[in-house]
Each structure stands twice: as C-alpha cells, then as structure tokens.
Amino acid sequence: MFDVIVVGGGPTGMMLASELRLHGVRTLVLEKEHAPTRQVRSLGLHVRSIEVMAMRGLLGQLLAEGRTYPVAGLFAGILTPQPVSLDSAHAYVLGIPQTTTDRLLAEHALRLGTEIRRGCEVVGLSQDGDGVSVELADGERLRSRYLVGCDGGRSAVRKLLGVDFPGEPTRVEWLLAEVEVDADPRTLESVAAGGRRTQLRFGPAPHEEGVYRFVVPAAEVAEDRTTSPTLEELKQRLHELAGTDLGVHSPRWLSRFGDATRLAERYRTGRVLLAGDAAHIHPPHGGQGLNLGIQDGLNLGWKLAAEAAGWAPDGLLDSYETERRPVAAAALDLTRVQAELLSPEPGPQAVRRLIAELMDIDEVNRLLTEKVTATGIRYDLGDGAALVGRRMPDVALGSGRLYDLMAGGRGLLLDQTGRLSAAGWADRVDHVVDRSDELDVPAVLLRPDGHVAWAGDDQHDLAGRLRRWFGAPC
C-alpha cells in the first residue's frame, strides 16, 4: 500500500511527488502515456516558479538548459519595459521548453525515490475511511492512503469523482505545430508581421535550427478536439491567412488548443485531491498554466505529507483548497481579460491601447506583472505583519542566501534576534540565527512553500503559529 498515488506525470505531478518524497512519503506516480511527450506546450517559467526551483536546488540545472529574458510583454503581449522594482532576486523569465522542464522534474523525483510507472491508465477509483482503491485499464488494482489527480484538463480522476468543472467552453481554437519550412527567414518575418496586423497570436517563431513553432488561428472549433490537426489543415490555414503555406513540411508534432476556461467546483473529495490542469484550465495568455501547476504541487506537498505522517494540525490539508482555488480563479479572470485585449475587434483594440498607456506608469506595470508572475500572491494567514501570507524573497544573509537553506522542504525560523526557539518542532522546522539587511522584522517563520506564517519577536506568539502550521510540539 502506498501513502500517496499521484495520477499524471507532468510537471504538477512530478513537483508534488518530489515534495512528498522530501518528507519520506511513499509515493507512486501513474502516467497514462508510455513515453514522455515531445509536444512543447510551455516555453518558460515565471519569477515565482523560478524561485521555487531555487528553493529546491534545481535552478542551476534549469539555467544551464534555458535562457533568461527580461520580465516584459507578459500581459496580453503589450510590450513595456521590465518594472523598476520587482521584489525578487530572480527577476527574469526563464525560456526553457516544457519537455526539458518535465525531464528535469522527473529526474528530481526519481533521485528522491519516487516510483514512476508509465503506460498506466486509471479507469476506476473508490475510497473508504482508510484509503483509496484504483483500477487500471489492464485490470490491475492498487491501494493508497491518498490520491491526487494531476492528469490534465480532461482529468479521469476528476470525472470519476463526479466533480463539476464549470466555466466557458472553447469558442476560439488555434493550431500549434513544430515544423520545418522552405521559406527563408526574411519571408517568414514579413509574413508573420502581416498576419499579426489582424491576428495578434499569429506567426512562426524559430524553435531549433531549421524548425519553427507555429501558432495559427483555426477556421473553427473542431468537433473532436482530442484529434490532432493534419499538416494539410495547417497549410490551408496559412494560405487563407498569409497567402502562402511557407513550404511547411516534416512536422515534429501538431496539436490544437482553445480558450476554454474552467475551475473545479472543489479541490478535495475525502482522500482524493486535484491539482494543476485537473483543477483549472484557461487559455495560455501570459503563460501561467504550467507555473500554476508547479505552485499547486508546492503548496499541497508538505500539507499532504504532514497528513500522511500524522502531525498535521486541524484544517491544514483543507487550506490547500482555500489558498490555491482563489489563486486559480484570479488567474482565470486575468486570462479572460487578456483574451479580450487580443481580439482584433475595434472595441477590444481601443481598450488595449488604453491599457498600454496605463502600463507606462511603473506601478500599473508592476501590479500586472506581479499578477502574471504570481509574486503578488498573499494568502490569508490571519493578522500580523504586512509580510504574513506573502512569499519570502531570496534575501541575502550573512552566511549566503535564504533559499539555499530550504532545499529540504522543511519549515524555517529565520531569527535575527538569537533569542527565539523552535525546539519542540525541531523535526519539522529548522532554526537559523542570521541577519539580512533586506529584512526589517526581527524574525520570520516560513512554511515549506516559502510563505511567511509569522513575523515578530514574541516567543509566545511564535509558539502559537508553530502549532497552527506544524502541529503539536514533540
């Protein structure tokens, strides 16, 4: 019997599995596909996800295989300079194909001892007071104490649970492809520039040598959206929009995506939970999908591990939904706004011009950037200092940097006074006495996800917050 079965081996599932394994939770990942996908759905990581990777010691590997860019043009593609004062030591976008991110997260999960089984499709599940039973397509049955569906927008787990997925269906569809082309780069750029005058998301972009990534508006929404488009369909749309098919050939893959926007009615049903696209889907405007999923996994991992270990305080596991579902709802609204601003119609284009003017004001630019990059999130963790509920930046300490101390996924008491104690929680919380010129409070208690649970210098108050987030002392 496993402690946790994670259904879905994408970035959300692998992030969650790794977080569970940091706490010794016996974890199995079930992935329906027999091999990792070659489709590059996402092209980068935003600031908060980069911070997450830094916290877990993965950033160096990602930087070695990616490329950094300024944090600009994220909101509806409106080109503005990077905000002046983004509150992060990692204030950049990391351009890296999702296939590479997937691989590195899977390798990380394996190093930590996660068991991963591919070619395993979940077709049934049931639960009782002691655990969850899973049936696979080949007839095998498995058992775990908890199960998390990280199996995408068409989640089998969500459907088997009967959880409603309200929202808007796909009304606009795009074709996505990686193909080789015969046209020269100058012709490609000229065609792309012409197409963007009426279709802001149209165009080819160089992906690898000789290979281009195309985003092309479809003529209509396909009746069966589970089927991939054909090369002929892509050529026809290019002819209709640009007057030439640019000699596209030898596709690596072709896919389609739409603007469906949905949010699961609930994230938890007994011992079964949902995360990532299984809980929320939206158009890719702003590139938030993969990042939201990674951050779901970070938030849920330590809470579910605490539940499995038996020390979770009342309500800790339920706080996953109360914290992350509003974040997803806000992200859905943000993509709805961007979808309107990307419309070629005169009304939305007038609004787009107005928003572009407002974004010349640095405070507006920073606010919208923080929304897209998730650095502005503040969970409702109760009264306290302004820092409470916010994520803690990677501040410089006398002995190094803060995130270097968080690779183990434990809580952290950063104490600038040297007078505080977390002795009763030493198996769950590290106590570090150090100073930072960037921190203007005496001490902070950080949860394993890097959010501030408490700030101050009162030992009695600290003990209350330790109980709230880390259970009874030993």
* CATH code of 195's domain: 3.30.70.2450
Number of domains present in the structure of the chain = 3
Can you give the residue range of the structural domain that contains 454? 396-470
User: 138 and 116 share a domain?
Assistant: yes
The answer to whether residue 433 is domain-embedded is yes
User: What's the pTM?
Assistant: 0.94
The answer to whether residue 447 is domain-embedded is yes
Among the candidates 258, 291, 311, a domain finishes at 258
User: 94 and 227 share a domain?
Assistant: no
User: 341 and 270 share a domain?
Assistant: yes
**What pLDDT shows up at residue 385?**
82
Please provide residue 382's backbone torsions phi and psi, each rounded to the nearest 5 degrees.
95, 180
**What pLDDT shows up at residue 246?**
87
Distance of CA 95 to the CA centre of its chain: 15
The span from the CA of 274 to the CA of 381, in Å, is 22
**What pLDDT shows up at residue 174?**
87
User: 219 and 130 share a domain?
Assistant: no
The answer to whether residue 379 is domain-embedded is no
Which of the 8 DSSP states describes residue 197? T
Q: Which of 139, 448, 151 is nearest to 272 (CA)?
A: 151
**What pLDDT shows up at residue 147?**
98
Among the candidates 200, 235, 258, a domain finishes at 258
Among the candidates 228, 243, 258, a domain finishes at 258
**What pLDDT shows up at residue 199?**
59
Q: Classify residue 180 by burial, with Cβ atoms within 10 Å: 0-12, 13-18, 19+.
A: middle
Tell me the residue length of the chain: 474
Walking along the chain (474 residues) 10 residues at a time, the average pLDDT comes out as: 97 98 98 88 91 98 95 90 92 94 97 98 97 98 98 97 96 89 82 64 72 86 85 91 87 89 98 98 88 98 98 98 98 93 90 96 95 96 89 97 98 98 97 97 98 97 97 95
Look up residue 431 and give its two tokens. 């106590």
- b/e code 18-33 from CB counts within 10 Å (16+ = b): bbbbbbebbbbbbbbe
The answer to whether residue 333 is domain-embedded is yes
**What pLDDT shows up at residue 213?**
85
**What pLDDT shows up at residue 191?**
74
User: 65 and 40 share a domain?
Assistant: yes
